[in-house]
Amino acid sequence: ALNIDETDTEALTSVLVDHYHPLLLTLVNSPIPVIAAVEGAAAGIGCDIALACDIRLASENAVFCELFGQVGLLPDGGGTFNLPRIVGMGRALEMALTCQKVRAEQALEWGMVNHVYPADSFKQHVQTYVERLAYKAPLAVARTKQAIRQAAGNVCFEDAIKQESELQKDLFTSRDFKEGVTAFLQKRSPNFRGA
C-alpha cells in the first residue's frame, strides 16, 4: 500500500496551488482568447486545462477524460467549475464519477469542443482558425471574452447587461470601433490595431 505522509500531502498540494492554479488563472483571465488544440488524450489535469481554454479544437483522434476518480481524487484543475457549465450537470457528474472517456465526435455533440477536424489536416485547420480570429478587433475580442466569462458566473441577467454596457462604453471610444464602422460603410475589410 502507498503510504503518503503529511510532507507528501503538502508537496502535492503545493504543485497544484503553486503551479497549476497560476496557469489556469492565466488562461481564464488573459484578454487574448486561448485556444486548446487537442490531438490525442486530454486526461486528468490535461482535460481540465483544455476546459479552461476559451475555444477547444479537436482532432478526430482526441479523447477527453476526468481520471481523478481512478486514484480516489476529484477533478482539481477547475473541472468541477468548467465541466458542468460546458456539458451540463448530468454529463459532468457522469464523466467525473465514472472516469468516462469522451471521444471527439461525442465531445462535439456535448459542446465540449467547438470543432473536430481530420487528423491528417488538423494542424492546417487550427492555423486557419487562429488566423481568422487574429484579424478581429483586439479590444472588442478582449471585452467580449471578459463579459461572457463574467456572465457565465453566478450573476443575474441584469448584472450581465450592465457589465456589457460598461465594457461597450470603452469600445465606443476606440480607434478600432471607428475603423470598423468606416470599413463597413466602405465595404472593405477593417484594419484593426488594438487601440
DSSP character string of 19-42: IIHHHHHHHHH-SS--EEEE-SEE
How far is 88 from 178, CA to CA, in rounded Å?
A: 39
How far is 59 from 24, CA to CA, in rounded Å?
A: 22
Model pLDDT for residues 98-144, shown as the tens digit of each residue: 999 999 999 999 999 999 999 999 999 999 999 999 999 999 999 99
| pLDDT at 40 > cutoff 80 | yes
Beta bridge partners of residue 58, listed in sequence order: 38, 116
pTM: 0.85
Which range is least confidently modeled, 47-51, 82-86, 117-121, 164-168? 164-168
Q: What is the mean pLDDT of the chain?
A: 89
**181: confidence class by pLDDT, cuts 50, 70, 90:** confident
In sign, the C-alpha dihedral spanning 115, 161, 27, 189 is: positive
**64: confidence class by pLDDT, cuts 50, 70, 90:** very high
* pLDDT score at 173: 81
* pLDDT score at 164: 61
Beta bridge partners of residue 38, listed in sequence order: 58
* pLDDT score at 175: 85
- Burial call 90-107: b when 16+ CB within 10 Å, e when fewer: ebbeebbeebeebebebb
The one-letter amino acid at 11: A
| pLDDT at 92 > cutoff 70 | yes
* pLDDT score at 169: 73
